[in-house]
Each structure stands twice: as C-alpha cells, then as structure tokens.
Amino acid sequence: MNLANLRRFRSLALGLIALAALAATPAQAVMLDGNGDLQKSTLVSGSYSSVESFSVARAGTLTVRLENIAWPEKLAQLNCSIYSDAGFMHQLTNSAELRFDVAGPGTFYANLTAGAAGFLNLGLFSFKVSFVPNAPVPLPAAVWLLGSAVGLLGLRRRAIH
C-alpha cells in the first residue's frame, strides 16, 4: 500500500467515525405513564452488562420483573440493581419480581449484568418494568356533607334575619 492510498484510507476512516458520532443519539429514559411498559429480552453469549433508564411523572407503584429463561440453558449469573438519583435502592437476582412505591416524579436506573455458562455459553433473560400511577384521592363524602350543611345553615340564618 503506497502513501497516497494510506492517506485516503485514513481520511475515509476518520470520516466514517465522525459520521457515526453525529448519527449516535444520546440515551434517554423511557417515560412510564401507566399505558406502556419497558420490556426487553436479551440473548447473552459470554457476559453482558447494560444500564436501562426509566422515568415516572408522578407517584405510583413500579414493578420490576427479571426472568432467567432456560434457553438453551439458564444463565449462570443474572443480577439487576435499581438506582435512583439518590443512590442504590433494590437488587434482584435470577428470576425475581419487585414492587415498590415511588413518591413522585423521578428517574430510575437498572444496572443489568449476566453471565452465560454451559456447553454453548449462551443464555436468555427477560426484563420488564411497569408503572401503575396512584389514582387521584377523591374527597370523602363527609366533606361534601359538611359543606352542604354549612351552606344550608348560612341560608337559613339569612332567611331568619
């Protein structure tokens, strides 16, 4: 390879790297609003590590489900650590489900690690996060009853005077 071809190859490689950097979009947290879930299944060959981020806009209950699927055989190791901006919250190992309440808006992170073993060094896992927002709290009937009684007393007092 002569010097001119080497320079052309270098320019082409740098151009492709720059194009890939421009095309890459930054990761964004999936917004969970009660209408959809964050769900993925991943085939692991050897070892695997990933961070999934998800956000909620209000108070409710988050459910995180991790399943070590026996295809072609179970993973030797499967872990999920849940973090918030405040730090570590919970951990799941192998096949497990976790439910916890969130007080309000926030972003959460799931650090997933897995390791395959066995003859094929392959395994599969499923990860699912769902969110159920808290229902608005209705005013108790006693408040309405008290309000109407006070209103009626006010009208009665006005009628007497």
Cis peptide leading into residue 72 (ω within 30°): yes
Say how many C-beta atoms besides its own lie within 10 A of residue 65's C-beta: 18
Q: Nearest to residue 83, comparing CAs of 103, 61, 55?
A: 55
- 10-46 burial, b at 16+ Cβ within 10 Å, e below that, comes to eeeeeeeeeeeeeeeeeeeeeebeeeeebeeeeebee
Distance CA 139, CA 22 (A): 52
pLDDT tens digits, 101-159? 999 999 999 999 999 998 999 999 999 999 999 987 565 666 556 566 666 666 566 66
pLDDT at 34: 87
Rounded mean pLDDT of 81-88?
A: 96
- Where do the domains of the chain lie? 28-133
Q: Say what the pLDDT of residue 96 is.
A: 97
The pLDDT tens digits for 8-30 are: 655 554 444 544 444 444 567 89
Superfamily holding 28-133:
Mitogen Ypm (2.60.120.510)
Give Cα 83 distance to the centre of its chain: 10
Confidence of residue 32 (pLDDT cuts 50, 70, 90): very high
Q: What is the pLDDT of residue 23?
A: 46
Q: What is the pLDDT of residue 11?
A: 57
**What sign for the dihedral angle of Cα 121, 68, 33, 58?**
negative
Task: Indicate the pLDDT class of residue 54, thresholds 50, 70 and 90.
Answer: very high
Q: Which residue has the tokens 């009684």?
A: 149
